Amino acid sequence: MKPEVQIDTNYYRVLDIRNLTESTFVLQLPKSRFKFEAGQHISLSIKGDYQSREYSIYSAEEGEHLEILVKEVEGGYFSPKLKHLKKGDMVEIHGPFGKFGLDNPKRDTHKHVFIASGTGIAPFHSMILSNPGLNYQMIHGVRFATEAYERGHYDSDKFVLCTSRDDSGDFQGRVTDYMEQNQFDENTSFYLCGNSDMIFDAMEILKGKGFSRDNVNVEVYF
């Protein structure tokens, strides 16, 4: 009697690499074999490599593909290897992990304001695609307007691009500058994802505007 063949369900074959800028791309894989909640992350490694990295899931909960948004780190070990993957190459995925996600008790009672720097927009892309009709505002902070990753996926009247190095965004300055200069409805649930400096500053600004920690959900990218 032949032994039963065990297929390792943690392996996925690369379907496509969608380049958004010279350094940022979307890794497209087959539909996930696991249930996840928008906002969660996975651990990703390349077959045959001993290292792994954690990435927020970029695609919708019921999306036909599993997608990850990656920025190549110059001089880094892992992200350049991901950038050079080709269709058909194998990656290994474990997860999902984390409790970052939409504040479901407030889903229909509050406005959801997503504040991201750089690729920190990834979990919000997943949350927005997974929740059609959501009352949201997406505030994305980048250096240049060319880094407005797949801006067309968001409602144009709900998306604010803050650019710190050029004046072709919706607002010239950092996301924290935008927050300081604008008011938010008291029935707002905030979500912060990006580098730790931005998150620390944003939390101080929200505290100064009278919002308690209960209204702020945080995911830090180092």
Residue 21, judged by CB atoms within 10 A of its CB (0-12, 13-18, 19+), counts as: middle
Rounded to an integer, the average pLDDT of 186-199 is 95
Rounded to an integer, the average pLDDT of 103-122 is 96
- Whole-angstrom distance, CA of residue 206 vs CA of residue 201: 9
Q: What is the pLDDT at residue 220?
A: 82
pTM equals: 0.94
If pLDDT is split at 50, 70 and 90, which confidence band does 40 have?
very high
Contact 164, 34 (CB under 8 A): no
Q: What is the pLDDT at residue 46?
A: 96
Rounded to an integer, the average pLDDT of 178-207 is 96
Express as a percent the part of the chain with pLDDT over 90. 92
Q: Is the pLDDT of residue 202 over 60?
A: yes
Q: Is the pLDDT of residue 5 over 60?
A: no
Quickly list H helices, 32-83. 79-83
